[in-house]
Amino acid sequence: MKTLKRLPHLLGYMIMGLLLQTHYVLGQSGDQILDGIGETDMIARYLFRGDLRDWSRNNLHARYLGEKAPEFKDQKGGKVLSLPGTGNNYLQLPNEALNDLESLSISAWIFIPAQPESYLFDFSFDAKHRVTGRLKGSGDKPSFEVSVQGEKESKSAALKSLPTNAWVHLVGTVDLSAKTLSVYLNGVKGGETKPVNLDFSTLSQSNQAAKRKLTLGQSNSGTGNPIASLLKDFRIYRVALTPGQIQTIYTNGKNGGQSASSTVNQGAKAEDNLQSFPMTQAQLYNAYLEKVADVEVKTTVGDAPRLPSFLEGTYRHGMQGPKVRVIWPAPTDNSAVESAGTYTIIGRVPGTDLQPKALVTVKGGKKSAAPRRSLSAFALNEVTLNNPSATDKNPFVANRDKFVLTLAETNPDDFLYMFRNAFGVAQPAGAKPLGVWDSQDTKLRGHATGHYLTAIAQAYASTGYDPALKANFKQKIDQMVETLYTLSQLSGKPQKAGGTSVADPRAVPTGPGKNEFNSDLSTEGIRTDYWNWGEGYISAYPPDQFIMLEQGAKYGGQLNQVWAPYYTLHKILAGLLDIYTQTGNKKALEVATGMADWVESRLSALPPETLRAIWNTYIAGEFGGMNETMAHLYQLTGESKYWKTAQLFDNVDMFFGNAARTHGLAKNVDTFRGLHANQHIPQIVGSIEMYGVSDELDYFKIADNFWYKAVNDYMYSIGGVAGARNPVNAECFIGEPSTLYQNGFSAGGQNETCATYNMLKLTSSLFMFEQRPELMDYYERGLYNHILASVAEDSPANTYHVPIRPASVKQFGNPHMNGFTCCNGTAIESSTKLQHAIYFKSNDNKELYVNLFIPSTLNWTERAIRIEQTTEFPKTDQTKLTVHGKGKFAINLRVPSWATKGVQVKINGKLENVKAEAGSYVKLARNWKEGDVIEWQLPFQFRLEPVMDQQNIASLFYGPILLAAQEPEARKDWRPVTLNAQDISQSIQGDPSQLKFQIDGIDFKPFYESYGRHSVYLDVTLK
């Protein structure tokens, strides 16, 4: 082979490796990063431009409690709210506006005349805990004071002089980790007090909301006067805004400001308030490192090479250290592999001057073989979760029961409420609308109904252990499907005989009396002319959002903006198909195909460049797994139009790099850096589903390449993959691969739980094609350390984001299943199929894969075999499999990558001589007979998992279980820990049988059992 002169490529890689460390990422089209602050940090925003609406996506609208209707006055820039300062004229904000606080910031523009002491806001958590902002003194220059009152003390920070008869910008921040209270005037800090010891971690839990009272314009206690003022742009944030962010809000507001519309993220990087360390200092095991091996990698023309994330290292004094994390340059195209030849890529080892090399050989000609689907999942009714004993409840059983029993108490009419509302149909007695993202005005309403359809289908399939529960879910399924079927049959047909209608989905007109499409879902403004919507249409809102998206609408709260209509539709269609596959309900399939035909009719008429632009639009163009659902419909019906529709959802830029389809994930180029994580992971899940029904290899490569990059370059220790400071959005992938510390660990949360839910779906799907042990290593990590850890102790309340900064607290919501975010929706799916990946079978029923060590019973129907898995794992390192029945087949037992101390397998008490390397499967093939027993031991040990680009910041694991430090109070910096360099277990005390440990007097326990303040990352020194 000819060796190419690749100096330009080599220099490009080296320069890129340096530049990427400070690269700021441009957002997607339509990014809603308001004033440089990610929207997940914002709880509510009240513009007061003629109404009391919350313009954030949370729809926490204010109420005016006064002697007359609220008054709005015209000012330069628009209307503002006028509070008269007399009588009982004030605003009440929803109690939920103080849910899930990491810290607290309140921002407001205010115009006040001289007046006596009065309250701007009074936010009471309960009778003993409150945060207030009030004017003190009188005259032309009163002081302004923000106070925090706790059970034992009260602290205040004040501005000595506040201008009157002029617009001023006020901000108060309570930073829990720094224990500071600050107040700002016109972007400048005017007062600060510390320490402040009020801790919101319990007070802001959603189950405490009923105790709160949030008042704007008056005191809750009845003391003081109502404020006389003009007010605009009042905001509440769940984080402590930084001085730079506050200055930006002030500057933008003073200069005319950003409106409520979406604003494109221009790449501004958030101020770094994360603890910093010298970039040139070797940390952890790297401090003992002498050299790193080079590596040779082969690829084919056009495909960027897959480089190993870890290489063998040599440590001083014969020390036995782990494999070395290497960070490689991450090109944005495949220009280096356009022709056959060889070239060298230089990597770096954080904190050292070591530069391992990868010699890449690019071969032409033959492409890689297409993998075949060789495994299948067992039906949910074939695997039952068990408790390890009559007195010890398995955590998976506990979580299953929390969700299944609460689902059994739900009223289907609540989940149908907004569908009937959209069609103008009367509500039955007892029906109540859901809250949060399914409330009247919310443009995502109906998404929870889709999750609910899937959850009750899975619950029906999984509750064979309780016939009454199974019958309960069957009744719910029939009721849901019958109502949705009835409504779908109305669409596009005359309201009455002889009436007019529009059957063609492409011909849907604007609403009655309107000259343009809009997303008005208010009681007064929603259109209900279903006869004009085209045949087959079904959703919880009219068709306008779909049509507006085609016309270029962006994401946001205004009437000319939308919120991910195809995302919501995917949930509904997927739920209907899950019901069909679990119960055979043909009406569910008919509703799904009717709406799929509606979608095909509209999208097939759009030019490719329009589709490409839509799917590249932040949130508005989020379509969940519509490609997955259309591929599934193609599989179920055999109708090719659904396959073609699935392809219409190709995210061309991410999948194929550009309109010419020259690179992208299909060619192993990272095209998802900086993008919204859970907008794009379901698209990848759809890609592997599309491969499964078509054998078009690019779709497999897209999914496989994405998985490898996500897990190796973006993953936190719990298995989550999102939470960026660059771009400034907790829901985005970091802006550059393998820079998790530099660009990740966003304030206000990381690790969106539904993103991990979708990563697990992708992982199990990939495993059906290629039985790579690392896939199930990830599945186990995400299942135990994120999904299991995302559920509250005593209810099915669960997390949205899972924060992992120092001394974080999980915030749980939706305990009664009446107010769903996206992650509350995927939670009811996750916890009704926890048994899904314990066992898989080969398509020819000759092999069984045991992937997870969870007490359970498998009924292998095709072989008339029952297998009982008995274990107290992970409180023990052993599991036992008992075979009931007989036959010749192979049992493949997983050897996890963390099982490096050797494993033992016994059959009927006899030790087997098997090769069992960590990160593999052991195959036991024989004629099995009734009562055969397999005993499987996987010795646990402690290990550290460092952040790839900041090695001293590491998580502590015991076997597969992430251990969290139980923090006594809030803290800003990482907890420092010193461990024995030769054997870290020498520095750890505790009881492995209870998974409870101590280091330096601090308790550590599984993250999935941590409900108070915790730290899952530590600042580790080895000695």
Task: Write the secondary structure of 460-520 as one string of H (helix), E (strand) and C (coil).
Answer: HHHCCCCHHHHHHHHHHHHHHHHHHHHHHCCCCCCCCCCCCCCCCHHHCCCCCCCCCCCCC
Q: Which residue has the tokens 């393998």?
A: 738
Q: What are the strands, taking DSSP E only, across 113-250?
A: 118-126, 129-136, 143-149, 154-159, 167-175, 180-185, 188-193, 213-216, 225-226, 228-237
Domain boundaries, the chain: 42-255, 284-363, 839-873+878-937, 943-1022
For 839-873+878-937, which CATH class?
mainly beta
- Residue 998: other Cβ atoms inside 10 A: 15
852 is written with which tokens?
Answer: 């997870």
Give, rounded to a whole angstrom, the gap between the first and last alpha carbons of the chain. Answer: 49
The pLDDT score that the predictor gives to residue 33 is: 59
Cα angle vertex 976, ends 973, 977, to 5°? 155
Beta bridge partners of 122: 132, 215
Fold of 42-255: Jelly Rolls (2.60.120)
Contacts of residue 908, defined as CB under 8 A and 6 or more positions apart, other chains included, come to 932, 933
- Please write down the HEC assignment for all residues of 874-889: CCCCEEEEEEECCEEE
Q: Which residue has the tokens 């602290």?
A: 155
Give phi and psi for 173, each to the nearest 5: -125, 140
The pLDDT score that the predictor gives to residue 747 is: 83
Give phi and psi for 1005, each to the nearest 5: -150, 170
Distance CA 899, CA 916 (A): 10
The pLDDT score that the predictor gives to residue 5 is: 34
Q: Which residue has the tokens 């189950």?
A: 207
Distance CA 478, CA 1010 (A): 39
Q: What is the dihedral of CA 181, 183, 188, 194, to 10 degrees?
A: -20
Residue 756 Rama label (left phi>0; alpha psi -120 to 50; beta): alpha
DSSP secondary structure letters along 743-809: HB--TT---BHHHHHHHHHHHHHHHHH---HHHHHHHHHHIIIIIGGGB-SSSS-EESB---STTB-
153 is written with which tokens?
Answer: 């003390």
The pLDDT score that the predictor gives to residue 264 is: 33
The pLDDT score that the predictor gives to residue 31 is: 56
Rounded to the nearest angstrom, the gap between the alpha carbon of residue 47 and the centroid of all alpha carbons in its chain is 28
**Size (the chain), residues:** 1023
CATH for 284-363? 2.60.40
448 is written with which tokens?
Answer: 């929870």
- Residue 152: other Cβ atoms inside 10 A: 8
Distance CA 575, CA 629 (A): 10
Distance CA 887, CA 875 (A): 32
pTM: 0.93
Beta strand 213-216 pairing with 118-126: antiparallel
Distance CA 342, CA 360 (A): 5
Low-confidence ranges of the chain (pLDDT < 70): 1-33, 138-139, 257-272
Q: What are the strands, taking DSSP E only, across 896-949?
A: 904-907, 910-911, 920-928, 933-937, 942-947
The pLDDT score that the predictor gives to residue 270 is: 52
Beta bridge partners of 894: 921
Same fold, 284-363 and 839-873+878-937: yes
Nearest Cα to Cα of residue 741 among 431, 974, 555: 974
Helix axes 626-637, 565-583, angle to 10 degrees: 30
368 is written with which tokens?
Answer: 């890689």
Contact 531, 477 (CB under 8 A): no
Beta bridge partners of 1004: 965, 997
Which residue type is seen at 754?
Answer: C
